[in-house]
Structure 1
Amino acid sequence: MSTETDQQAREQLIDLAAQFYDQFQLGEIPHMDVPTRTKSNIELDEDLGVWVYGDRTSRRSANSVAGARKLLKAVYTIEFLAHQLEENRSSTLRELYYISESWDNENAHFNDQDESNQLIEDLEIVSAVTREDFHMRPEESGATVLGPLHLLEQTRRGEREIHCQEDVGEGGYQIPNNPDTIEFLDHDAEFILAVETGGMRDRLVENGFDEDYGALIVHLGGQPARATRRIIKRLHDELEIPVTVFADGDPWSYRIYGSVAYGSIKSAHLSEYLATPEAQYIGIQPEDIVEYDLPTDPLSDSDTNALESELEDPRFQTDYWEEQIELQLEIEKKAEQQALASYGLDFVTDTYLPERLSAMGII
């Protein structure tokens, strides 16, 4: 049975399709305007402390064959999503790409999944409804939470209470596609430690870091999925738990932190919903590479270009990041989290993290 949220999402989609009809009636060429999703079109929202899209837009218009095909695909997708919501069904982004192959008009078929993914993002923006409320799911991200958190989860068989330390294995609690269906019941967490790699997450769990320090360990699984960023946001805002991000010492990992703290270009329309600007970076710093003489790899040309780009990125224009990035460009080295194991398997939990967390005032 569909919920009130489902009905509202369906109405928003139908209203969007009705706008195309109204444009026809007024003698206008049907069109849809969406923000330009480029770094040059994101700006800091001073009130929210996150990055949002600026005023520049791109028009999807039927004044060309290519534009007309895009709008046709949008209409077919809206019809599919509205029907899906009416039947209380769900599908994955990958399935949508294949589903289009069954549509009776070949011009509505997607050329590849990137095209269907982008259309879903367009529909999110112009309808102000998230894809989660469309019942669209990504492929499983494998992201998990482990630590002193007690929650209530909605399942197909009803409600289920789960303690993310006592009721789960070492893999932790699997973050659902839509974390807004979770109710937080209780917790004893002192802080959230969002960890980039599975190997480091396993080391922390094996060493009992969650128990010793009251840490909620969230496995980001690389570039974090929306569901991962959303649950971090909710845990911080609703339970007032400080957030730290523990990642490798390279430009791509700095961007992982940036997406958690300030949002990403791709989902800037959801920054208020996904980003946690209070999150602090606790990952490997260029300063650590020098201080601890960590095992390193040389910077590649793409690494160097990425670091230079980050110096121009509004998300990294602070004294801290400018100092660290300039130091990294000077030493021409990068290091992984696991490089700390050169001092022993317990060094990261007994020395490195406690010292960093203490210096930051977290513990």
Structure 2
Amino acid sequence: MSKLAGKKRPLDAGEKAILATKKKIKGTDEVLAQVDKLCSLAKKEPARAKTLAELHLPQACREVIEKDADAVLDEVEASLYTVAASILRGEGFSYDVPLRTKGNQMYVPELDRIVLKDACGQRPFANTQTNRKAVITTRVLGLVHELCRKRIHVTKRDLFYTDVKLFQDQLQSDNVLEDVACMLGCTRSSLHVVASEKGVVVGRLTFREDGDLINCQRMGVGGKAVPPNVDKVTEIRSDAMFILLVEKDAAFMRLAEDRFYNTYPCIILTAKGQPDVATRIFLKRLRDVLRIPVLALVDADPYGLKILSVYMKGSMNMSYDSSNLTTPDIKWLGVRPSDLDRFNIPEQCRLPMTDEDIKTGKRLLEEEFVQANPAWVRELEIMVTSKVKAEIQALSSFGFQYLSQVYLPLKLQEGDWI
């Protein structure tokens, strides 16, 4: 019999590093001790955030509110009466449309989010550059009036198909829909137009959706689709200690299959990339109702940080509705540029940044909300200087369950979030 029979293969350097890291992880209670402290702080925060009106800003800003169908009907009819009166006076018609460009936006540190200033632009029909948009605006107002009158909801895609010849491209109907919401002073969901289902949730959460009881621990690996009509979600209940916001579907499925939420009580949520409106509203709703912290797991690249910034500070396109869509106090758990060396991510799993990646990273460094967080600045500087990025999946080089069994428990145990 060979002398080598029964002998274990010696561990290589990488395997030794993984084993050493695993040994650092303590019992569940000790892993969650720092999370518990963060949770206590979250529950002590004021239940209601300040409003723009309470800040008395020197610059007038525009913000929308949730309105019921009758209120939206009144706003639409008032807009069209104004148009009709203008036509009868022989003055033609024009819409006052709030400008949603970057130049008309500002970051408000007290609210820690982007808001829309109050400047408006004219959209006259008797102008070759704007007459088509004026017609589309009128058509969308009519469609919204019909939806609110009938008390029905449709998707943005449905809206586009009502008049393909006029709209030509869904981007055109989508953009005018945002203009209309801003004009009428209401959220987009108030218009009875919803986005298609994209986000999914799993873990220690129950709620009623239009009266039906949903238990997110019994939704399998795929999770429960985030309701497109978040206003129909009621009776939100959970014993979770935190919400884990995940950028990608692959990481979500890994954590769901490993039942990560059973060992570490949490709710796991993803929008499978760029966040949609329903997922953003749902996240804010969970955070406000449950009063628990939100920890984010995104790729260590500029795109991952842009996605995180949309959840936290809002997007340019919908800055008018940032109060209903943003969750400013999200903590960046990982994957961070400093983690690449700390966790010995193999060189072959580190990707070179493109010129566009580097430009995006530098632009992020110039953003006010980034400059307000020195830890974010340090991480972005590491990324831009090293010109290296990595995906969450790079952790799979140590084993498929490294994310759920080693990386996340250690980050939680150390309270390693910024």
TM-score scaled to structure 1, two decimals? 0.90
Paired with 1:280 and 1:25, the residues of 2 have a C-alpha distance of: 56
Aligned to 2:175: 118
Deviations 1:9-55 (A, max 9, x none): 22222222223234445665533233333334321234432111124
Q: 2:375 corresponds to which letter in structure 1?
A: Y
Aligned to 2:368: 314
2:357 to 291, 303, 316: 303
Paired with 2:275 and 2:120, the residues of 1 have a C-alpha distance of: 27
SS in 1 for 2:68: helix
SS in 1 for 2:162: helix
Greater Cα offset, 71-80 or 50-59:
50-59
Q: CA deviation at 1:132?
A: 1.8
Aligned to 1:32: 95
Aligned to 2:135: 72
Question: Quick one: higher RCO (CA 8 Å, sep 6+), 1 or 2?
Answer: 2
Q: 1:80 corresponds to which letter in structure 2?
A: L
With over 3 angstroms needed to count, the CA separation of the structure-2 counterparts of 1:323 and 1:126, relative to structure 1, is same
SS in 2 for 1:183: strand
Q: 1:212 corresponds to which letter in structure 2?
A: T
Q: CA deviation at 1:239?
A: 1.2
Q: CA deviation at 1:203?
A: 1.0
Q: 2:162 corresponds to which letter in structure 1?
A: I
Whether 1:151 and 2:214 are equivalent positions in the alignment is no
With over 3 angstroms needed to count, the CA separation of the structure-2 counterparts of 1:360 and 1:37, relative to structure 1, is farther
Whether 1:129 and 2:175 are equivalent positions in the alignment is no
| Residues 195 and 277, structure 2, Cα contact 8 Å, conserved in 1 | no
Paired with 1:316 and 1:37, the residues of 2 have a C-alpha distance of: 22
Whether 1:160 and 2:212 are equivalent positions in the alignment is yes
Correspondences of 1:180-259 after superposition (within 5 Å)? 180-259=231-310
Aligned to 1:324: 379
Q: Which structure 2 segments of 5+ residues have no match?
A: 1-66
Greater Cα offset, 315-324 or 275-284:
315-324
Q: CA deviation at 1:361?
A: 7.6
Paired with 1:358 and 1:41, the residues of 2 have a C-alpha distance of: 42
With over 3 angstroms needed to count, the CA separation of the structure-2 counterparts of 1:55 and 1:111, relative to structure 1, is same
| Residues 132 and 177, structure 1, Cα contact 8 Å, conserved in 2 | no
Aligned to 1:106: none
Q: CA deviation at 1:252?
A: 0.7
Aligned to 1:178: 229
Whether 1:356 and 2:411 are equivalent positions in the alignment is yes
With over 3 angstroms needed to count, the CA separation of the structure-2 counterparts of 1:46 and 1:26, relative to structure 1, is farther
TM-score scaled to structure 2, two decimals? 0.78
Aligned to 1:45: 108
Paired with 1:130 and 1:69, the residues of 2 have a C-alpha distance of: 24
With over 3 angstroms needed to count, the CA separation of the structure-2 counterparts of 1:28 and 1:195, relative to structure 1, is same
1:287 to 316, 330, 338: 338
Q: Which structure 1 segments of 5+ residues have no match?
A: 103-108
With over 3 angstroms needed to count, the CA separation of the structure-2 counterparts of 1:56 and 1:309, relative to structure 1, is farther
Aligned to 1:10: 73
| Residues 201 and 226, structure 2, Cα contact 8 Å, conserved in 1 | yes
Q: 1:84 corresponds to which letter in structure 2?
A: L
SS in 2 for 1:282: strand
Spell out structure 1 runs of 4+ moving beyond 4 A.
25-29
Paired with 1:283 and 1:40, the residues of 2 have a C-alpha distance of: 32
C-alpha RMSD of the superposition: 2.0
With over 3 angstroms needed to count, the CA separation of the structure-2 counterparts of 1:342 and 1:16, relative to structure 1, is same
| Residues 333 and 416, structure 2, Cα contact 8 Å, conserved in 1 | no
| Residues 154 and 194, structure 2, Cα contact 8 Å, conserved in 1 | yes
Q: How many residues align?
A: 347
